[in-house]
Structure 1
Amino acid sequence: MSMVGVAALTGVLVAVPPAAADTAGTADTAGTVSPELQRFYDQEPAWKPCTGEGLDDLECARITVPMDYANPRGERIRIAVSRHRATDEDGRRGILLANPGGPGGSGLGMAAFLRGQKIGEVYDLIGFDPRGIGESTRIQCSVPDLDDLELPTRPTAGQLHNFTEAARRTEAGCDRTGGSLRPHITTANTARDMDVIRGVLGEDKANYLGYSYGTYLGAVYGSLFPEKLDRSVLDSSIHPDRIWRDTWLAMSRAHTENVERFTRWAAENDDKLGLGDTSEAVFRSMEDVAQRLHDDPIDDFDRSSFDMAVALLNRDQGEWDVLAAFIGGLRDGDDAQVREAADAGALRLAASRDRFADDSAFSPSTFATVRCEADWPTGLGAYYADMREYAAEHPYGMGAMLSAPDPCTFRSYTPAEKPVELKRDGYPTGVVVQSHYDTQTAYEGGPAMAQRLRDSLIIVEDDSNHGYYGIPGYDCVTEQIDDYLIDGILPGSATTCPGAPFPDLDAPDTADEENLTEKVQEQIDEEEEHPVPLPAPLPVS
């Protein structure tokens, strides 16, 4: 799942001469697809060159699926699909469907993201925008006006109700404009759409790679269509028993655990960083800055901004020098350095929010809807108790925000079905990848998913990132996944890979108070170059 975003990857499909004839509609669906659904599997897509940034050399099509699979003769919607054909035609072993996460992330650009990997030689790489998103039939919730509500990371007792009011307004906006589509925006229905894509492409089986929320989607697909799934990789996994509120609470705890790691590292390097010679002293330095910004914000950069900026800068331990310079600049800098640090923090926050505001890359309406597929507690007292605890014990990250009442607390409809019970019964052993200190999908999710599905587990040791296959610096993971996806060679049942190294504080380009904004911009540029996986977005106060 996960809170920085994916760069804009999708584009508008245009009418150009079609590509060569395909094998669409030739998959064997006898006895596995109802007669009412067969016509969807028998479609022949009209492939055309994709348009849009980052989609060069891909071909795109749109297929039709039922809005409600329980009523396939009813309303229909469209799903946008992209493809990059295997470059080794003789070695081709089928299709690989991919999802970047979310929920709410556009996946049309996944074929472009993966085409430089070895798997692009033997697989047709298939990206798609899940229902409700991007170039597929979209759901659009009306956006409520929350400007009159203060929603800080560390609210006072009198501010707790503001979060309830924000959740109520958000749900009312979705109810107002979500239409009849909204109850059918679920993980299970997206998995069913995936199987139609498989059938339309003429494949008896699909292979799968999913990041973050996409791990849950892959597990649901395998549970619903075990005879149609071959090899599968679940990278940075959702916990199978935390759908959905408990995922958010675990995220807060994971942020705190990683901040504690940072304070220990900073204390070990106090001679260079000067933030404190014990973990407790570094934490006090952070709290001093937080209190100062609460008492005297720098323009709009206040304590909540600081708490969230710490979370964003803390994710990549290879760049903890940037976080240290950010804290040090705000605590000890002269007026210019304090301003530089605040500007750098505001830049980091704005980049995250801007990416999630790009509705071609991310659908907040789908994000707000998929989570309603599971029941949420309705009693406000439990939420308020959690908010008080999390604001005090887990302030860095989102503080009280992730434990607050959710729009789904006030869900205006009843889903047609419960979330799918996850199991692996009938498809080959897959691979789960998880790091020790992932702040988006907490570590326990990986071993729990691997145990549930009896999959092999790759553990990225002492690392705090999110998403590993195909990401520079994590060759150990990429090589083992290539062995599995290409040659069918499983890693050990519980294999380890090294995490990212910590910053070299003696390097000449180490971040300091003078170059902080430049260093933050470099981080942002790097994320745009390697845009997946898609974690959960930051709440916007």
Structure 2
Amino acid sequence: MRRTPPYRSVGAVEVPLNEPGARPGLPRTLHVTRFRDGETVRFSRSSGVVLASVLTLATAVPAAADPLTDFHRQPVSWSPCDETKVGPLEGLPLECATLVAPVDYRNPAGDRLQVAISRLKATDPARRRGILLVNPGGPGAPGLGLPVQLGRQEIAQVYDLIGFDPRGVGQSTQLQCTVIDELPIKNQTRPADADFGVFTANAKAEDHACQEAGGALRPYINTNNTARDMDIIRAVLGEQRTNYLGYSYGTQLGATYGTLFPSRLDRSVLDSALDPAKSWHEQDFDSVDAIRANIDLWAEWVAARNNTFALGTSADAVKAAIEEIATALRTRSIAGMTEVSHLDYGIGFYTRYRESWASYANRMQFALIEVRQGIKAAPSVAEDLANASRIARERTVLHTQEKAGVTVKCEWNWPDPQTSYREMRRYRQAMPYGGVVPELMAPNPCAFRSFQRLQTPVRATRGYPVGLVVQADGDTQTAYPNGVAMATALGDTLISVRDDGNHGHYRYNDCVTKLVDGYLVRGVLPPSRSSCPPYAEAPDIPVDTRSSLVAPAIESLTAVASRIHP
């Protein structure tokens, strides 16, 4: 988990609130403490409740028929983006600006927060067809730099690409959480019952940390309000309608925007979608099914090439060999892996991506030889597997379980600890791979939510032009049934990516990119149920190839991992 750096107070002042914007029952001054960490500034009322970074003082919005009129008409001042804040610009002229939005849309005259936006202007003004708002997902992921990542695509010719850091994130008013030190859990992918309480303690501490630092802001960090911020962005930029491209959680955000503002959304693409009718935790079980399916497919592929990998002549035998390695890891290091969690994270991650199937099988072959014959893997093999195991864990751990991300996920109900413990016991035995137990089944901070939830997510409904949903059948972050459900709910065209575990396909998968460009740029919808081949296929190793002929051609696992797109 990323840690919030310590802050140094460099001064405090009392600032009067404008009378019309003051909230009933709250002090008429804000105690403003400035902390230097980039441009982070924290504000708190004299009661001591922290509102997080760069929360703009409340000012009165003049009376109008539409209470959001002044927000829609606010001026916008563009300037070149700072690479230290948005990431590499790659030579592209990305501009940045800051808008203000209501903290609470039920009271637009109250406190305001800042929303940071970015713009990459259309490179072919004669063909320009408006703005394309883009979001990378999360929840809790910054999006100012996303236009740069999309800036070489055809869409950049005809759209102004508009990125933004959602409320609570990055350069927008930031939901800060105090630093917490998690209690360690040995072999956390298969914890003993006696360790379950540590997961609960960590979840409680995480919720408490966010509540202590940003409790006054947390009730307003949610999908509905972020979608409303998106409409302020649209209005400020002078557009009657917006177009949208969202990945992962960004698909939920796009569907919410279209539901709240159906007349203001034109073309939309939802890449690697959530199920709009299921809670976060309900979709966790779909992810478990996807992890299991990937492992089964890999085991079948490996068994068909037993002359090469010698892990077993059937899928069941291959999986039994993996558990044999796991058992040995309980007491000693094996081929660079020092604990069973290295194996569990690794198999969940590398069986997901077909291009890593051969390299992972090869490394498991060396591990099994060490277990059964006591022949140590070569130092280069052990180092490779150690590095690859670390990468797998880092890429699997849910980094969004903090700050704005954990707060957004509290829109939904989460199981109580005893229910979580039952699920942990079940999957510790049935599916310990891929971080299922600690990442998906352990108590979630939202189970101990210490702020009042003011609204629940809107139910996504159709009502705006038909768009695209893109979904891979092996994706473990947003499982394939989730995308089918999203496309069905919205009446959208579904593009299925076959035999692929990737998450996020536009600009990576050529077939997907061609279909999406055809729709966003030229308005051509593909057939309602279309399909694309995978981004990368499993290595071409014939089933009758012998190990001595193939082994030299198998890449290191770390090298393959470096090519797997995030």
Is 2:504 the counterpart of 1:481? Answer: no
Q: Which among 493, 503, 506 is matched to residue 528 of structure 2?
A: 493
Q: Which among 77, 88, 112 is matched to residue 54 of structure 1?
A: 88
The question of whether the paired residues in 2 share the 8 Å contact of 1:84 and 1:115 is answered with yes
- Residue identity over aligned pairs, in percent, reads 42
Task: Give the C-alpha shift of residue 515 in structure 1.
Answer: 7.9
Q: Report the AA paired with residue 342 of structure 2.
A: S
Q: Distance in 2 between matches of 1:243 and 1:449?
A: 13
Using the TM superposition, name which of 221-230 and 316-325 deviates more.
316-325
Q: Distance in 2 between matches of 1:83 and 1:218?
A: 18
Q: State the SS of the aligned residue for 1:61.
A: strand
Q: State the SS of the aligned residue for 1:140.
A: coil
Q: Which among 133, 148, 165 is matched to residue 169 of structure 2?
A: 133
Q: After TM superposition, list the pairs within 5 Å mapping 1:292-303 onto structure 2.
A: 292-297=328-333, 301-303=338-340
The question of whether the paired residues in 1 share the 8 Å contact of 2:203 and 2:445 is answered with yes
Q: Distance in 1 between matches of 2:419 and 2:167?
A: 33
Residue 414 (structure 1) aligns with: 452
What residue ranges of structure 2 are gaps of 5+ in the alignment? Answer: 2-36, 40-63
More relative contact order, 1 or 2 (CA 8 Å, 6+ apart): 1
Q: Report the AA paired with residue 421 of structure 1.
A: R
Q: Distance in 1 between matches of 2:144 and 2:460?
A: 26
Q: State the SS of the aligned residue for 2:428.
A: helix
Residue 213 (structure 2) aligns with: 177
Using the TM superposition, name which of 289-298 and 100-109 deviates more.
289-298
Q: Distance in 1 between matches of 2:102 and 2:215?
A: 15
Q: CA offsets, 1:134-175, max 9 Å, x none?
A: 111111222322234446111222222222222112111121
Task: Give the C-alpha shift of residue 51 in structure 1.
Answer: 2.1
Q: Distance in 1 between matches of 2:338 and 2:107?
A: 51
Q: CA offsets, 1:207-253, max 9 Å, x none?
A: 01111111111111111111110000111111122221112232222
Q: Which among 368, 382, 387 is matched to residue 347 of structure 1?
A: 387
Q: Which among 198, 202, 205 is matched to residue 162 of structure 1?
A: 198
The question of whether the paired residues in 2 share the 8 Å contact of 1:329 and 1:513 is answered with no
Q: State the SS of the aligned residue for 1:495.
A: strand
Residue 269 (structure 1) aligns with: 305
Is 2:229 the counterpart of 1:193? Answer: yes
- Mark the CA change 1:338 to 1:196 in structure 2 (over 3 Å): closer, same or farther: farther
Is 2:510 the counterpart of 1:470? Answer: no
Residue 383 (structure 1) aligns with: 420
Q: Distance in 2 between matches of 1:169 and 1:151?
A: 21
Residue 80 (structure 1) aligns with: 116
Q: Report the AA paired with residue 443 of structure 1.
A: Y
Q: Distance in 1 between matches of 2:166 and 2:558?
A: 32
Is 2:496 the counterpart of 1:459? Answer: yes
Using the TM superposition, name which of 166-175 and 295-304 deviates more.
295-304
Q: Report the AA paired with residue 344 of structure 1.
A: D
Q: Report the AA paired with residue 403 of structure 1.
A: M
CA RMSD of aligned residues (A): 2.8
Q: CA offsets, 1:76-135, max 9 Å, x none?
A: 111111111111111111111111111111111110111111111111111111111111
Residue 318 (structure 1) aligns with: 355
Q: Distance in 1 between matches of 2:474 and 2:156?
A: 30
Task: Give the C-alpha shift of residue 201 in structure 1.
Answer: 1.0
Task: Give the C-alpha shift of residue 444 in structure 1.
Answer: 0.4
Is 2:257 the counterpart of 1:235? Answer: no
Q: State the SS of the aligned residue for 1:104.
A: coil
The question of whether the paired residues in 2 share the 8 Å contact of 1:321 and 1:511 is answered with no
Q: Report the AA paired with residue 103 of structure 1.
A: P
Q: Report the AA paired with residue 482 of structure 1.
A: D
- Mark the CA change 1:224 to 1:313 in structure 2 (over 3 Å): closer, same or farther: same
Q: Distance in 2 between matches of 1:358 and 1:43?
A: 37
Residue 483 (structure 2) aligns with: 446
Task: Give the C-alpha shift of residue 341 in structure 1.
Answer: 4.7
Q: Distance in 2 between matches of 1:259 and 1:460?
A: 18
The question of whether the paired residues in 2 share the 8 Å contact of 1:69 and 1:189 is answered with yes
Q: Report the AA paired with residue 309 of structure 1.
A: G
Using the TM superposition, name which of 348-357 and 250-259 deviates more.
348-357
Q: Report the AA paired with residue 483 of structure 1.
A: G
Equivalenced residues, count: 492
Residue 538 (structure 1) aligns with: none
Q: Report the AA paired with residue 156 of structure 1.
A: A
- Mark the CA change 1:357 to 1:202 in structure 2 (over 3 Å): closer, same or farther: farther
Residue 405 (structure 1) aligns with: 443
Q: CA offsets, 1:24-74, max 9 Å, x none?
A: xxxxxxxxx963211111122211111213224211111111111112112
The question of whether the paired residues in 2 share the 8 Å contact of 1:60 and 1:83 is answered with yes
Q: Distance in 2 between matches of 1:151 and 1:292?
A: 13
Q: State the SS of the aligned residue for 1:368.
A: helix
Task: Give the C-alpha shift of residue 431 in structure 1.
Answer: 0.7
Q: Report the AA paired with residue 88 of structure 2.
A: G
Name the larger-Rg structure. Answer: 2
Q: Distance in 1 between matches of 2:121 and 2:401?
A: 27
The question of whether the paired residues in 1 share the 8 Å contact of 2:355 and 2:560 is answered with no
The question of whether the paired residues in 2 share the 8 Å contact of 1:331 and 1:338 is answered with no
Q: Distance in 2 between matches of 1:65 and 1:484?
A: 32
Q: Distance in 2 between matches of 1:366 and 1:64?
A: 18
The question of whether the paired residues in 1 share the 8 Å contact of 2:130 and 2:239 is answered with yes
Q: CA offsets, 1:333-353, max 9 Å, x none?
A: 576636545543443454467
Q: Distance in 1 between matches of 2:105 and 2:182?
A: 36
Q: Report the AA paired with residue 482 of structure 2.
A: G
- Mark the CA change 1:342 to 1:367 in structure 2 (over 3 Å): closer, same or farther: farther
Q: Which among 527, 532, 539 is matched to residue 503 of structure 1?
A: 539
The question of whether the paired residues in 1 share the 8 Å contact of 2:346 and 2:389 is answered with yes
Q: Distance in 2 between matches of 1:326 and 1:142?
A: 40
Using the TM superposition, name which of 310-319 and 223-232 deviates more.
310-319
Q: TM-score, normalised by structure 2?
A: 0.81
Q: Distance in 2 between matches of 1:210 and 1:34?
A: 32
Using the TM superposition, name which of 455-464 and 495-504 deviates more.
495-504
What residue ranges of structure 1 are gaps of 5+ in the alignment? Answer: 4-10, 14-32, 532-541
Task: Give the C-alpha shift of residue 291 in structure 1.
Answer: 1.2
Residue 74 (structure 2) aligns with: 43
Q: CA offsets, 1:421-458, max 9 Å, x none?
A: 11012x10011111112111111011111110011111
Task: Give the C-alpha shift of residue 381 in structure 1.
Answer: 2.7
The question of whether the paired residues in 2 share the 8 Å contact of 1:434 and 1:458 is answered with yes
Task: Give the C-alpha shift of residue 497 in structure 1.
Answer: 1.1
- Mark the CA change 1:398 to 1:208 in structure 2 (over 3 Å): closer, same or farther: same
Task: Give the C-alpha shift of residue 294 in structure 1.
Answer: 1.6
Residue 30 (structure 1) aligns with: none
